[in-house]
Amino acid sequence: MHDDRTLVEARLKRVLDERIRPAVYPESVPLDVAVWHAPGEPVPVAEGLAAQPEPIAVGARWGAPWGTSWFRVTGTVPEAWAGRTVEAILDLGFDENMPGFQCEGLVYRPDGTPVKGLNPRNQWVRIGAPVEGGEEVRLHVEAASNPVILDYHPFVPTHLGDKDTAGSEPQYTLARMDLAVLDETVWQLVIDLEVLGELMAELPVESPRRWEILRAVDRALDAIDLQDVGGTAGQARSHLTDVLSAPAVPSAHRISAVGHAHIDSAWLWPLRETVRKVARTTSNMTALLDDEPEFVFAMSQAQQWAWVKEHRPEVWARVKKAVADGRFVPAGGMWVESDTNMPGSEAMARQFVHGKRFFLDEFGIENDEAWLPDTFGFAAGLPQIIKAAGSKYLLTQKISWSQTNKFPHHTFQWEGVDGTRIFTHFPPVDTYNCSMKGSEIAHAARNFKDKGAARHSLAPTGWGDGGGGTTREMVAKAARLRNLEGSATVTWETPAEFFAKAAAEYPEPPVWVGELYLELHRATLTSQAMTKQGNRRSEHLLREAELWAATAAVRTGFPYPYEELDRIWKTVLLHQFHDILPGSSIAWVHREARATYARIAAELNGIIDAAQRALAGEGDTPLVFNAAPHPRAGVPAGGAGTAAGQGGTEPSARPGGGYVLDNGLVRIEIDERGLVVSAHDVEADRETIAPGGAGNLLQLHPDFPNMWDAWDVDEFYRNTVTDLTDADEVTATGEGVRVVRSFGDSRVTQVLSLPAGERRLEVDTEVDWHETEKFLKLAFPLDLHAERYASETQFGHFHRPTHTNTSWEAAKFEACNHRFVHLEEPGWGVAVVNDSTYGHDVTRTVRTDGDRGTTTTVRVSLLRAPRFPDPETDQGVHRFRHALVVGAGIGDAVREGWRINLPERRLTGAGQVAPLVTVDREAVVVTAVKLADDGSGDVIVRFHEAHGGRARATLTTGFPATGVQVTDLLERPLADAEPPALDGDRISVRLRPFELMTLRLQRA
């Protein structure tokens, strides 16, 4: 037989595009359209419906950036259409290649009932099936003219990302507003041919199945009268029946399709627009559930559910019914799909506390899975947190974006810092926006790394990022792929159903130990410094507010601010979303975030001040309140008292220029350039700074990645560096040594100080930053031989290599830490601690002259200046605090990291305030002291082993306790945990390395 394959395939494409798809709607009549443009921000639905619109015609421009326009469409169904299916086609000016990234709409009936959302892949509204003819049609569309930020030429700087700079130029052209007859037979033929054509293209050319499909398609095309597609579509479909009914082979890969709409809680749109995106998508999905009995939809992010409940009660009612039917499924059990690298220990825990509790309170449903398809890598502390929240599975997708190394598993056990293992799935379909294309399904089957041992994978199915969700076309394709020869099988299932099957068939999957590092988007650890500082500060203010309010409530009857703390926690958690905290959202988002963090700080400081004043009482005794988990200057952790005087170290002149800071423990030499050329540990007689090197060195790099400006830093940035060694001023002050530098259009002012009796050089840096596409680092070259170093993560720390033996190590050229990094040789080490930075790098070289020792350089990432999506990223004044801790063990790193983030507070009062809880082992760090969320008055204490070894510790309560329980993060007793003995006011505990424990203490 002659090879006519390419001829038939080309024929299929053209006939589909030019004849069959246009015949889906064979008849149409125009609707009358009028529009009212809402002034300013979106208005309530009732106001939009009541507004008086003006006529507008198809082809007219509409929609200022970020505006809202209310369209009213009216018409009459022709009598001649009686008995047929009729839909309204409402095209606001869509580009079908940009679902979720441009204008969208939500359709209402005149009484305000939401019907469904409109987006580029979902432009229809069902009028009747069948209609009687003569029906009056009246619909209202709340249309959002969100501008296109990420266009076909991506990453072009634009001021459209903030309504204050976006202008008023109309963004869209009204394209089509019609009533149309839907030919359902032709529509089904389109799906048949798409499924078979896409499957055919994925099969080997020599495969008999491919040729069977080709011949069937050829016969179907022969059966179509191109001038009467509707009249011949049924006959064409009959030629496809046999190839569509051939069953899959028994060994076929099995895909659990989960209806999905990954909605970024903010990204290329502000938070307020996400509220509406969620309403549009949930309206669409509840409508699709009504039409498709096998379809299942899952939605994560309790915050988004809460938005629907608060802002769209009429949509919420439909959602609640679908949840009750078991087909609209809460997923993930987190408040938002947060970043997991940068949130602190308690914040990461509270993501699950608030997320799971919302779903439990609203629906009585508890999630077993964490659902994080798009998060930019996963910290090594996360498995323990997932388990402590009562969950046991994790789903992610983003690791498929790694640029250098392909991850070796799709289903595996992920082991965290404390040894906890979580059953993890990484869908081989390699997208969280699966649309049921044959290429996607075939890729999932081919790509699956665990063939032979397992055969199940999951496909999140639906348009995402900007929302939209699953379409009826996707559902129809899935129906044909349920059991089709040559394809993986597809079944709609909930996440819980998938994980149960996957875990049962693969009881001993491979194990991956340590962080799941994404080899991409590394610059998200630095972009938008003020957002990151707001997050860090808010986390520590919340710790203080809970600690002092709980202490005051127990001691004085102070009213514990349950509602305020709950609300503030949820706001902080929302801003940890994986495009807000990482700094990858538009200017509007970060402008609002800065204002929000300022409000939060004011409110939390008010709570802290009120609680501390209640504790201090009346008097004139100077008191220092210490919220850190370690004693400080004689003041106990979590208590208040009179602090021993500390003070600073007076600078003295250095021979040859510069200054010396010497407190008897450490001698710091700062040269005439303002650089630290020596940090000598007096007791150990050990130099910290590498020979010939200089610490406190600011380094400036060009920073123009190949893609994803705010997200990425590419390794070639290191090829060019400017050491900022010229100083405008190096002077002694009462605080220490003041250094001023100018470069480009920017200015840096630093104060270097050495507290008395301490082993830390404090570096306070203020940067007035006005650079573009530059990367600013702060370097400390250390005379220290270390093949690995420790970075703090949630509830512990973990080690990364300093070498680049393999491509896996080389790819980690920018990484995350929380409050510290620590390097050591046996018996002696150095820590670099910070109050608000996350990104860093550690490199090592061997000196070729002199002592031929090793120089290990720690560089802290301070600022970037990408121009997309926010063209003014980080312009302005920033302040950072760091400290170089000399001769530091890991315990010193932990303690100093807490110290720099929790500065002491001073009041006058009656006298000492005893801690609510004390711990007798420095290695056991208390991360939270609070009252139980249920209002019982019980005291909750959360702590973990922080040094990486086993620990036995005694907790002593500063109040009468009648009982103690070990609980999960949601403060529920753990059935399999034996409660520690309570002996008077003493509780003895044993902890494994990095083990996390939560105790619930009943008060007398």
Active site residues: 374
Q: Output b/e per residue, 10-47; b: 16+ Cβ within 10 A.
A: eebeebbeebbbebbbbbeeebebebbbbeeebbebee
- A 10 A CB-CB count for 404 gives 12
The residues, any chain, with a CB within 8 Å of residue 25's CB and separated by 6 or more, are 87, 89, 180, 181, 182, 183
| Distance separating alpha carbons of residues 529 and 766, to the nearest angstrom | 12
Q: Which alpha helices (DSSP H) does 873-961 contain, by range?
A: 890-901
Nearest Cα neighbor of 142 from 235, 32, 252, 51 is 51
Residue the block writes with tokens 């299942």:
296
User: Distance (Å, rounded) from C-alpha 111 to C-alpha 403?
Assistant: 52
- For CA atoms 266, 269, 273, 274, the dihedral sign is negative
- Computed from CA positions of residues 582, 583, 589, 591, in that sequence, does the dihedral angle turn out positive or negative? positive
> How many CB atoms are located within 10 Å of the residue 222 CB?
11
- Exposed, middle or buried, 644 (CB in 10 Å: 0-12/13-18/19+)? exposed
Are 815 and 801 a contacting pair, CB within 8 Å? Answer: no
**Taking a C-beta distance cutoff of 8 angstroms, is the pair 531, 590 a contact?**
yes
Query: CA nearest 947: which of 922, 918, 920?
Result: 922
Cβ-count burial 761-800 (b if 16+ within 10 Å, e if not):
bbbbbebebebbebbbbbbbbbbbebeebbbbbbbbbbbb
How far is Cα 747 from Cα 738, in angstroms, rounded to an integer? Answer: 13
Q: Which tokens in the block code for residue 966?
A: 């070990």
Q: What is residue 942's three-state secondary structure? A: strand
Contact 688, 783 (CB under 8 A): yes
Q: Which element (helix H / strand E) includes 764?
A: strand 760-769
Torsions phi, psi for 242 (to 5 deg): -65, -45
CA distance 334 to 337: 7
Q: Measured between alpha carbons, how far is 1003 from 224 in angstroms, rounded to an integer?
A: 80
* CA-based nearest residue to 292, from 439, 177, 461, 465: 461
Query: Whole-angstrom Cα distance, residue 18 to residue 222?
Result: 15
Q: Which residues of 315-343 are buried (b: 16+ CB within 10 A; e: fewer)?
A: bbebbbebbeeebbbbbbbbbbbbbbbbb
Which structure tokens are listed for 508? 């001993």
Q: How many CA atoms lie within 13 A of 445 on its CB side?
A: 20
Closest residue by Cα to residue 670 from 696, 639, 707, 692: 696
Residue 242 CB coordination number (10 Å)? 10
Give residue for tokens 């400080």.
632
Find, among 953, 949, 893, the residue nearest to 921 by Cα: 953
Contact 145, 64 (CB under 8 A): yes
Q: In angstroms, rounded to a whole number, what is the distance separating the alpha carbons of residues 676 and 697? A: 8
